[in-house]
Amino acid sequence: MRLILNDKRVYLDNAATTPLDSEVLQAMLPYMTDVFGNPSSPHSFGAEAVAGVVAARERIAELTGCSANEIVFTSGGTEADNFAIRGVFEANRNVGKRMIVGATEHAAVLSACKALERTGAEVIYLTPETDGSISPSTLESALSDDTVLVSIMTANNEVGTISPIKELCNIAHARGALFHTDAVQAVGSVDINVSHTNVDLMSVSAHKFYGPKGVGFLYVKKGTRISPLILGGHQERGLRGGTTPTFLIAGLAEAYARALSTAESDVKRVSELCGDFVERVLKIDGATLNGAPLSAKNRTPYHANISFDGVRADALVMKLDLMGVAAAAGAACSSGSAEVSHVIKAMAGEDRARGAVRFSFGKYNTKGDVDFAVKAVKSAVEELRTAQGLLYLKSEITRA
Protein backbone atom coordinates (compact mmCIF):
# COMPACT_ATOMS: atom_id res chain seq x y z
CA MET A 1 0.00 0.00 0.00
CA ARG A 2 1.34 3.44 -0.98
CA LEU A 3 0.58 6.26 1.44
CA ILE A 4 1.96 9.18 -0.51
CA LEU A 5 0.28 11.91 -2.47
CA ASN A 6 2.89 12.08 -5.24
CA ASP A 7 3.69 9.56 -7.93
CA LYS A 8 7.37 10.38 -7.84
CA ARG A 9 9.35 9.12 -4.89
CA VAL A 10 12.92 10.03 -4.05
CA TYR A 11 14.83 7.83 -1.64
CA LEU A 12 17.28 9.83 0.49
CA ASP A 13 17.66 7.36 3.33
CA ASN A 14 20.56 5.26 2.07
CA ALA A 15 22.24 5.36 5.48
CA ALA A 16 19.26 3.43 6.88
CA THR A 17 19.44 0.82 4.16
CA THR A 18 20.11 0.44 0.43
CA PRO A 19 18.30 -1.55 -2.26
CA LEU A 20 19.71 -4.96 -3.21
CA ASP A 21 21.81 -4.89 -6.38
CA SER A 22 20.54 -7.33 -9.02
CA GLU A 23 24.04 -8.85 -9.41
CA VAL A 24 24.01 -9.53 -5.67
CA LEU A 25 20.66 -11.26 -5.95
CA GLN A 26 22.06 -13.40 -8.78
CA ALA A 27 24.95 -14.45 -6.56
CA MET A 28 22.50 -15.44 -3.81
CA LEU A 29 19.97 -17.38 -5.89
CA PRO A 30 21.88 -20.68 -6.28
CA TYR A 31 22.08 -20.94 -2.48
CA MET A 32 18.33 -20.36 -2.18
CA THR A 33 17.54 -23.08 -4.73
CA ASP A 34 19.91 -25.86 -5.88
CA VAL A 35 22.69 -25.51 -3.32
CA PHE A 36 20.45 -25.69 -0.29
CA GLY A 37 22.49 -28.00 1.94
CA ASN A 38 23.48 -27.20 5.49
CA PRO A 39 27.21 -26.35 5.44
CA SER A 40 27.62 -28.30 8.68
CA SER A 41 26.29 -31.54 7.14
CA PRO A 42 28.82 -34.29 6.40
CA HIS A 43 27.37 -35.29 3.00
CA SER A 44 27.79 -33.93 -0.54
CA PHE A 45 24.93 -31.43 -0.18
CA GLY A 46 26.72 -29.96 2.83
CA ALA A 47 30.04 -29.97 1.00
CA GLU A 48 28.58 -27.92 -1.88
CA ALA A 49 27.22 -25.37 0.54
CA VAL A 50 30.46 -25.24 2.50
CA ALA A 51 32.41 -24.51 -0.68
CA GLY A 52 30.30 -21.37 -1.20
CA VAL A 53 30.86 -20.19 2.36
CA VAL A 54 34.62 -20.84 2.15
CA ALA A 55 34.89 -18.90 -1.11
CA ALA A 56 32.88 -15.98 0.29
CA ARG A 57 34.93 -15.88 3.49
CA GLU A 58 38.21 -15.88 1.53
CA ARG A 59 37.01 -13.13 -0.79
CA ILE A 60 35.89 -10.96 2.14
CA ALA A 61 39.11 -11.57 4.06
CA GLU A 62 41.29 -10.60 1.12
CA LEU A 63 39.37 -7.36 0.66
CA THR A 64 39.57 -6.63 4.40
CA GLY A 65 43.32 -7.30 4.62
CA CYS A 66 43.09 -10.26 6.99
CA SER A 67 42.97 -14.07 7.07
CA ALA A 68 39.78 -16.00 6.42
CA ASN A 69 39.64 -17.34 9.97
CA GLU A 70 39.53 -13.78 11.33
CA ILE A 71 36.05 -13.22 9.80
CA VAL A 72 33.05 -14.22 11.93
CA PHE A 73 29.70 -13.99 10.15
CA THR A 74 26.87 -12.39 12.12
CA SER A 75 23.27 -11.34 11.51
CA GLY A 76 24.46 -7.78 10.81
CA GLY A 77 25.93 -4.71 12.46
CA THR A 78 23.91 -4.83 15.66
CA GLU A 79 25.03 -8.35 16.45
CA ALA A 80 28.64 -7.63 15.45
CA ASP A 81 28.73 -4.62 17.80
CA ASN A 82 27.15 -6.54 20.68
CA PHE A 83 29.52 -9.44 20.10
CA ALA A 84 32.56 -7.15 20.15
CA ILE A 85 31.53 -5.18 23.25
CA ARG A 86 30.09 -7.97 25.37
CA GLY A 87 32.33 -10.74 24.10
CA VAL A 88 35.57 -8.85 24.73
CA PHE A 89 34.51 -7.62 28.18
CA GLU A 90 33.42 -11.11 29.22
CA ALA A 91 36.64 -12.78 28.04
CA ASN A 92 38.93 -10.16 29.59
CA ARG A 93 37.42 -9.65 33.03
CA ASN A 94 40.85 -10.34 34.52
CA VAL A 95 42.32 -7.34 32.62
CA GLY A 96 39.99 -4.73 34.05
CA LYS A 97 36.53 -3.25 33.96
CA ARG A 98 36.95 0.00 32.05
CA MET A 99 35.44 0.34 28.57
CA ILE A 100 35.70 3.55 26.53
CA VAL A 101 33.25 4.42 23.75
CA GLY A 102 32.21 7.52 21.84
CA ALA A 103 29.03 9.21 23.08
CA THR A 104 27.85 9.27 19.46
CA GLU A 105 28.13 5.52 18.84
CA HIS A 106 25.24 3.56 17.35
CA ALA A 107 22.62 2.31 19.82
CA ALA A 108 23.99 -1.22 19.34
CA VAL A 109 27.23 -0.19 21.05
CA LEU A 110 25.63 2.11 23.61
CA SER A 111 22.96 -0.39 24.68
CA ALA A 112 25.55 -3.16 25.00
CA CYS A 113 27.60 -0.85 27.25
CA LYS A 114 24.55 -0.01 29.38
CA ALA A 115 23.97 -3.73 29.86
CA LEU A 116 27.61 -4.21 30.89
CA GLU A 117 27.38 -1.36 33.40
CA ARG A 118 24.75 -3.40 35.22
CA THR A 119 27.29 -6.22 35.56
CA GLY A 120 30.06 -4.03 36.97
CA ALA A 121 31.72 -2.42 33.94
CA GLU A 122 32.87 1.17 34.19
CA VAL A 123 32.04 2.79 30.85
CA ILE A 124 33.44 6.16 29.80
CA TYR A 125 31.48 7.96 27.06
CA LEU A 126 33.75 10.32 25.11
CA THR A 127 32.38 13.75 24.20
CA PRO A 128 32.75 14.43 20.47
CA GLU A 129 34.18 17.54 18.85
CA THR A 130 31.59 19.90 17.35
CA ASP A 131 31.96 18.12 13.99
CA GLY A 132 31.11 14.78 15.64
CA SER A 133 34.59 13.23 15.53
CA ILE A 134 36.44 11.86 18.55
CA SER A 135 39.77 13.54 19.06
CA PRO A 136 42.93 11.61 19.98
CA SER A 137 43.52 13.84 23.02
CA THR A 138 40.02 13.13 24.36
CA LEU A 139 40.72 9.41 24.14
CA GLU A 140 44.18 9.75 25.63
CA SER A 141 42.87 11.43 28.76
CA ALA A 142 40.23 8.75 29.35
CA LEU A 143 42.57 5.74 29.07
CA SER A 144 43.75 3.84 32.13
CA ASP A 145 45.95 0.77 32.49
CA ASP A 146 42.89 -1.35 33.21
CA THR A 147 41.00 -0.31 30.06
CA VAL A 148 39.81 -3.46 28.31
CA LEU A 149 38.39 -2.06 25.08
CA VAL A 150 37.99 1.21 23.19
CA SER A 151 35.17 1.36 20.63
CA ILE A 152 34.93 4.28 18.23
CA MET A 153 32.95 4.20 15.01
CA THR A 154 34.72 4.88 11.71
CA ALA A 155 31.93 7.03 10.26
CA ASN A 156 28.96 8.29 12.22
CA ASN A 157 25.59 7.08 10.94
CA GLU A 158 23.75 10.36 11.47
CA VAL A 159 26.22 13.00 10.28
CA GLY A 160 28.83 10.96 8.41
CA THR A 161 31.80 12.38 10.29
CA ILE A 162 34.89 10.18 10.08
CA SER A 163 37.15 9.79 13.14
CA PRO A 164 40.94 9.23 12.85
CA ILE A 165 40.74 5.50 13.50
CA LYS A 166 44.38 4.57 12.91
CA GLU A 167 45.60 7.24 15.32
CA LEU A 168 42.97 6.43 17.94
CA CYS A 169 43.83 2.74 17.66
CA ASN A 170 47.55 3.41 18.19
CA ILE A 171 46.77 5.44 21.30
CA ALA A 172 44.60 2.64 22.73
CA HIS A 173 47.24 0.00 21.95
CA ALA A 174 49.95 2.08 23.64
CA ARG A 175 48.01 1.69 26.90
CA GLY A 176 47.36 -2.02 26.31
CA ALA A 177 43.67 -1.68 25.38
CA LEU A 178 41.99 -3.48 22.49
CA PHE A 179 40.33 -1.40 19.77
CA HIS A 180 36.99 -2.00 18.03
CA THR A 181 35.49 0.12 15.27
CA ASP A 182 31.95 0.04 13.93
CA ALA A 183 32.59 0.49 10.21
CA VAL A 184 28.98 -0.13 9.18
CA GLN A 185 28.60 3.28 7.52
CA ALA A 186 32.11 3.39 6.09
CA VAL A 187 32.30 0.61 3.49
CA GLY A 188 33.02 2.07 0.07
CA SER A 189 33.86 5.57 1.24
CA VAL A 190 36.64 5.07 3.82
CA ASP A 191 39.69 2.79 3.75
CA ILE A 192 38.73 0.13 6.29
CA ASN A 193 41.49 -2.34 5.39
CA VAL A 194 42.58 -3.64 8.80
CA SER A 195 46.19 -4.06 7.70
CA HIS A 196 46.23 -0.25 7.38
CA THR A 197 44.26 0.68 10.52
CA ASN A 198 45.49 -2.15 12.78
CA VAL A 199 42.16 -2.40 14.65
CA ASP A 200 41.49 -5.58 16.64
CA LEU A 201 37.79 -5.82 15.86
CA MET A 202 35.57 -4.29 13.16
CA SER A 203 31.82 -4.51 12.45
CA VAL A 204 30.35 -4.53 8.94
CA SER A 205 26.75 -4.96 7.70
CA ALA A 206 25.75 -5.92 4.12
CA HIS A 207 22.52 -3.97 3.73
CA LYS A 208 24.35 -0.64 3.90
CA PHE A 209 26.12 -1.35 0.60
CA TYR A 210 23.45 -2.88 -1.64
CA GLY A 211 23.64 -6.32 -0.06
CA PRO A 212 20.97 -8.32 1.79
CA LYS A 213 19.59 -7.46 5.23
CA GLY A 214 20.34 -9.82 8.09
CA VAL A 215 24.02 -10.51 7.49
CA GLY A 216 27.35 -8.93 8.32
CA PHE A 217 30.61 -9.84 9.97
CA LEU A 218 32.88 -9.06 12.85
CA TYR A 219 36.57 -9.04 12.04
CA VAL A 220 38.42 -10.47 15.05
CA LYS A 221 42.20 -10.20 14.92
CA LYS A 222 43.97 -13.50 15.57
CA GLY A 223 44.73 -13.91 19.28
CA THR A 224 42.01 -11.50 20.49
CA ARG A 225 40.26 -12.96 23.52
CA ILE A 226 36.49 -12.92 22.92
CA SER A 227 33.57 -14.98 24.26
CA PRO A 228 30.71 -16.05 21.97
CA LEU A 229 27.49 -14.07 22.18
CA ILE A 230 25.26 -16.74 20.67
CA LEU A 231 25.67 -20.24 22.03
CA GLY A 232 24.27 -23.42 20.59
CA GLY A 233 26.48 -24.76 17.83
CA HIS A 234 30.06 -25.14 16.74
CA GLN A 235 29.62 -22.87 13.70
CA GLU A 236 32.10 -20.04 13.09
CA ARG A 237 34.78 -21.96 15.04
CA GLY A 238 32.54 -21.99 18.11
CA LEU A 239 32.24 -18.21 18.16
CA ARG A 240 28.72 -17.92 16.78
CA GLY A 241 26.12 -20.68 16.99
CA GLY A 242 23.37 -21.03 14.39
CA THR A 243 22.92 -22.65 10.98
CA THR A 244 25.10 -20.80 8.48
CA PRO A 245 22.93 -18.68 6.12
CA THR A 246 24.76 -19.51 2.89
CA PHE A 247 22.68 -17.32 0.56
CA LEU A 248 23.12 -14.26 2.80
CA ILE A 249 26.86 -14.83 3.03
CA ALA A 250 27.12 -15.19 -0.75
CA GLY A 251 25.24 -11.89 -1.10
CA LEU A 252 27.44 -10.18 1.48
CA ALA A 253 30.63 -11.22 -0.35
CA GLU A 254 29.33 -10.09 -3.73
CA ALA A 255 28.05 -6.74 -2.41
CA TYR A 256 31.28 -6.09 -0.49
CA ALA A 257 33.44 -6.81 -3.55
CA ARG A 258 31.27 -4.59 -5.72
CA ALA A 259 31.23 -1.75 -3.16
CA LEU A 260 35.02 -1.76 -2.92
CA SER A 261 35.66 -2.08 -6.64
CA THR A 262 33.35 0.79 -7.64
CA ALA A 263 34.14 2.92 -4.59
CA GLU A 264 36.06 5.64 -6.40
CA SER A 265 33.47 6.39 -9.08
CA ASP A 266 30.53 6.02 -6.66
CA VAL A 267 32.12 8.44 -4.19
CA LYS A 268 32.71 11.03 -6.90
CA ARG A 269 29.17 10.88 -8.24
CA VAL A 270 27.42 10.72 -4.88
CA SER A 271 29.48 13.51 -3.34
CA GLU A 272 28.60 15.80 -6.25
CA LEU A 273 24.88 15.13 -5.81
CA CYS A 274 25.02 15.43 -2.04
CA GLY A 275 27.15 18.60 -2.19
CA ASP A 276 24.76 20.23 -4.65
CA PHE A 277 21.81 19.37 -2.39
CA VAL A 278 23.50 20.76 0.73
CA GLU A 279 24.52 24.01 -0.93
CA ARG A 280 21.00 24.62 -2.18
CA VAL A 281 19.22 23.64 1.04
CA LEU A 282 21.53 25.78 3.16
CA LYS A 283 20.15 28.80 1.31
CA ILE A 284 16.94 28.33 3.34
CA ASP A 285 16.97 30.76 6.28
CA GLY A 286 17.86 29.09 9.55
CA ALA A 287 19.25 25.90 7.95
CA THR A 288 22.54 24.61 9.40
CA LEU A 289 24.68 21.65 8.31
CA ASN A 290 25.50 19.32 11.20
CA GLY A 291 28.85 17.54 11.28
CA ALA A 292 31.98 18.37 9.33
CA PRO A 293 31.71 21.15 6.71
CA LEU A 294 31.26 20.16 3.07
CA SER A 295 34.87 21.00 2.27
CA ALA A 296 36.25 18.78 5.08
CA LYS A 297 38.06 15.54 4.32
CA ASN A 298 36.64 13.74 7.34
CA ARG A 299 33.09 13.29 6.10
CA THR A 300 31.45 10.59 4.03
CA PRO A 301 30.25 11.68 0.60
CA TYR A 302 26.65 10.70 1.18
CA HIS A 303 25.40 12.12 4.52
CA ALA A 304 23.69 15.51 4.69
CA ASN A 305 22.36 16.21 8.17
CA ILE A 306 20.65 19.59 8.34
CA SER A 307 18.84 21.37 11.19
CA PHE A 308 16.05 23.81 10.46
CA ASP A 309 15.36 26.45 13.12
CA GLY A 310 11.76 26.48 14.29
CA VAL A 311 10.91 23.12 12.72
CA ARG A 312 10.55 19.75 14.41
CA ALA A 313 12.48 17.05 12.60
CA ASP A 314 9.79 14.38 12.95
CA ALA A 315 7.12 16.71 11.50
CA LEU A 316 9.39 17.60 8.59
CA VAL A 317 10.18 13.98 7.84
CA MET A 318 6.48 13.11 7.80
CA LYS A 319 5.64 16.04 5.56
CA LEU A 320 8.46 15.19 3.18
CA ASP A 321 7.25 11.61 3.01
CA LEU A 322 3.83 12.80 1.87
CA MET A 323 5.58 14.88 -0.78
CA GLY A 324 7.52 11.83 -1.97
CA VAL A 325 10.91 12.37 -0.28
CA ALA A 326 12.19 9.75 2.16
CA ALA A 327 14.55 11.15 4.82
CA ALA A 328 15.18 10.39 8.50
CA ALA A 329 15.06 12.08 11.87
CA GLY A 330 16.56 11.25 15.25
CA ALA A 331 18.22 7.94 15.86
CA ALA A 332 17.31 7.14 12.32
CA CYS A 333 18.08 3.46 11.94
CA SER A 334 15.10 2.96 14.25
CA SER A 335 12.97 5.72 12.78
CA GLY A 336 9.60 6.13 14.35
CA SER A 337 11.16 7.10 17.66
CA ALA A 338 10.35 10.71 18.50
CA GLU A 339 13.47 11.07 20.66
CA VAL A 340 15.89 13.77 19.63
CA SER A 341 19.15 12.55 18.19
CA HIS A 342 21.73 11.73 20.89
CA VAL A 343 24.41 12.41 18.27
CA ILE A 344 23.43 15.99 17.39
CA LYS A 345 22.63 16.66 21.05
CA ALA A 346 26.16 15.63 22.06
CA MET A 347 27.73 17.66 19.22
CA ALA A 348 25.61 20.78 19.10
CA GLY A 349 22.98 20.79 21.85
CA GLU A 350 19.31 19.91 22.16
CA ASP A 351 17.86 22.82 20.14
CA ARG A 352 19.85 21.89 17.06
CA ALA A 353 18.96 18.22 17.57
CA ARG A 354 15.23 18.94 17.61
CA GLY A 355 15.26 20.16 14.01
CA ALA A 356 17.89 17.79 12.56
CA VAL A 357 16.98 15.76 9.50
CA ARG A 358 19.30 13.29 7.77
CA PHE A 359 19.25 13.05 3.99
CA SER A 360 21.53 10.27 2.78
CA PHE A 361 22.36 9.74 -0.87
CA GLY A 362 23.20 6.58 -2.77
CA LYS A 363 24.49 5.45 -6.12
CA TYR A 364 21.02 5.26 -7.65
CA ASN A 365 20.15 8.91 -6.94
CA THR A 366 20.12 11.35 -9.85
CA LYS A 367 20.38 15.08 -10.45
CA GLY A 368 16.59 15.06 -10.95
CA ASP A 369 16.19 13.62 -7.44
CA VAL A 370 18.22 16.51 -6.03
CA ASP A 371 16.07 19.09 -7.84
CA PHE A 372 12.89 17.40 -6.65
CA ALA A 373 14.08 17.07 -3.05
CA VAL A 374 15.39 20.64 -2.77
CA LYS A 375 12.03 21.98 -3.93
CA ALA A 376 10.16 19.73 -1.51
CA VAL A 377 12.35 20.66 1.46
CA LYS A 378 11.94 24.38 0.80
CA SER A 379 8.19 24.23 0.62
CA ALA A 380 7.83 21.77 3.53
CA VAL A 381 9.94 23.95 5.83
CA GLU A 382 8.00 27.04 4.83
CA GLU A 383 4.64 25.36 5.36
CA LEU A 384 5.60 23.97 8.75
CA ARG A 385 6.89 27.31 9.94
CA THR A 386 3.71 29.02 8.79
CA ALA A 387 1.51 26.34 10.35
CA GLN A 388 3.32 26.67 13.63
CA GLY A 389 2.71 30.40 13.63
CA LEU A 390 6.40 30.93 13.27
CA LEU A 391 6.34 32.87 10.02
CA TYR A 392 10.03 32.82 9.87
CA LEU A 393 11.99 36.00 9.56
CA LYS A 394 15.71 35.74 9.94
CA SER A 395 15.92 39.18 11.53
CA GLU A 396 13.48 38.22 14.27
CA ILE A 397 15.39 35.10 15.14
CA THR A 398 18.65 37.02 15.22
CA ARG A 399 17.11 39.56 17.58
CA ALA A 400 15.82 36.89 19.97
Among all residues, which ones are annotated catalytic?
333
Q: Looking at this protein, which amino acid is placed at residue 53?
A: V
Q: Which window, 3-11, 28-36, 73-81, 374-382, contacts ligand PLP (CB under 6 A)?
A: 73-81
**In the complex, least distance from residue 332 CB atom to ligand PLP, rounded to whole angstroms:** 8
- CB nearer ligand PLP, residue 98 or residue 180: 180
Asked if residue 266 binds ligand PLP (CB under 6 A), the reply is: no
**In the complex, least distance from residue 7 CB atom to ligand PLP, rounded to whole angstroms:** 29
- CB nearer ligand PLP, residue 106 or residue 363: 106
Q: Which window, 20-28, 71-79, 94-102, 337-345, contacts ligand PLP (CB under 6 A)?
A: 71-79
From candidates 13, 21, 48, 182, binder to ligand PLP by CB under 6 A? 182
- CB nearer ligand PLP, residue 103 or residue 390: 103
Which residue, among 49, 15, 40, has the nearest Cα to 248 in the 3D structure?
49
Asked if residue 216 binds ligand PLP (CB under 6 A), the reply is: yes
- CB nearer ligand PLP, residue 216 or residue 228: 216
217-246 binders of ligand PLP (CB under 6 A)? none
**In the complex, least distance from residue 225 CB atom to ligand PLP, rounded to whole angstroms:** 23
Residues 332-371: x where in contact with ligand PLP by CB under 6 A, - otherwise, as a string: -x--------------------------------------
Label residues 83-114 b or e (16+ Cβ within 10 Å = b): bbbbbbbbebeebbbbbbbbbbbbbbbbebbe
Asked if residue 157 binds ligand PLP (CB under 6 A), the reply is: yes
- CB nearer ligand PLP, residue 66 or residue 159: 159
Contacts of 123-129 with C-beta under 8 Å, sequence gap 24+, read 123/98, 123/99, 124/98, 124/99, 124/100, 125/101, 126/100, 126/101, 126/102, 126/152, 127/103, 127/346, 128/102, 128/103, 128/104, 128/161, 128/346, 128/347, 129/347
305-334 binders of ligand PLP (CB under 6 A)? 333
- CB nearer ligand PLP, residue 184 or residue 287: 184
**In the complex, least distance from residue 191 CB atom to ligand PLP, rounded to whole angstroms:** 17
Which residue, among 106, 151, 158, has the nearest Cα to 124 in the 3D structure?
151
Q: Which window, 52-60, 180-188, 252-260, 389-397, contacts ligand PLP (CB under 6 A)?
A: 180-188
Q: Which window, 64-72, 167-175, 182-190, 345-353, contacts ligand PLP (CB under 6 A)?
A: 182-190
Which residue lies nearest ligand PLP, judged by its C-beta? 77
Count interface residues toward ligand PLP (CB under 6 A).
14
Contacts to ligand PLP by CB under 6 A:
76-78, 81, 106, 108, 153, 157, 182, 184-185, 205, 216, 333
